[in-house]
Amino acid sequence: MQPYFMPYIGYFQCISAVDKYILYGNLTFIKDAWMNRNRILLKNGKIQTISVPLQHKSSNTLINEILIDNSQHWQTKLLKTIYLNYKGSAFFEEMFPFFQSLLEKKYKYLFELNCESIQKIVSLLSIDTIIDADNSRFSEMELLLNSVDEKYSDVIPYLTTNPIKKVARVIEMCRRENSNDFVNAIGGRELYNKDDFSVYGINLSFVKTENVFYNQFGNTFEPNLSIIDVLMHNGREGTQELLQKFTLI
């Protein structure tokens, strides 16, 4: 999966559902994805988008090459937003120092920020999944896939079908990782079909988050907000309990 910025709880449920989770940055940056932004719920019940400013958001740039625009002092502003909005939340005293430590560090690349944030949150929640952010061994694979337009079996000879690039990539990564199971977020149902993977002995599953509710300052509950919101209102132990509220379909 791409490493998103402070992703929602379903992202961490996906991590907790597998043995190994690869944070992948060898893909082109998509401006409308959740790479540098997310959402929190303000005390007044309004949703606010939080974001990391970037220097050049070209769709031709790889995710792991995207530079953060640190001239905007975004970390100070974001910490102030978190402080003012979540001061008084049930677990503010427990969680604010964690985010303060995480966001006071200087990052050059968005990939670096997102990977470290995800890894630190995984550690906080005692998720024992192996997190792999070293994409170097897949660089040659990407060059091969990008060298052809459609027939990826020309560069990955064992492919007996003609899957689209996204599917061919995952099949090859599963082969290299000796994996017979691939777990994806629920949104992946629009991209992946179980039959495309079963041909190669790979079981495809999706993480379906069950009904997750918690108090958000008494406001109407807004699901799928940043993990910041979840941790501030539920703390470490409460969030660990919410992590279990999913099924594989």
Specify the pTM: 0.94
Contact status, residue 204 vs residue 182, Cβ threshold 8 Å: yes
Q: Residue 9: its pLDDT value, please?
A: 97
Q: Which two tokens stand for residue 199?
A: 């041909």
User: Quick one: pLDDT band at residue 31, thresholds 50, 70, 90?
Assistant: confident
Domain ranges (residues) in the chain: 1-249
Angle at 66 between CA 54 and CA 83, to 5 degrees: 45
pLDDT in tens, 71-127: 999 999 999 999 999 999 999 999 999 999 999 999 999 999 999 999 999 999 999
Distances (CA, A) of 165 to 23, 111, 196: 18, 22, 12
Q: In degrees rounded to 5, what are phi and psi of residue 34?
A: -95, 35
CA distance linking residue 109 with residue 91, whole number of Å: 30
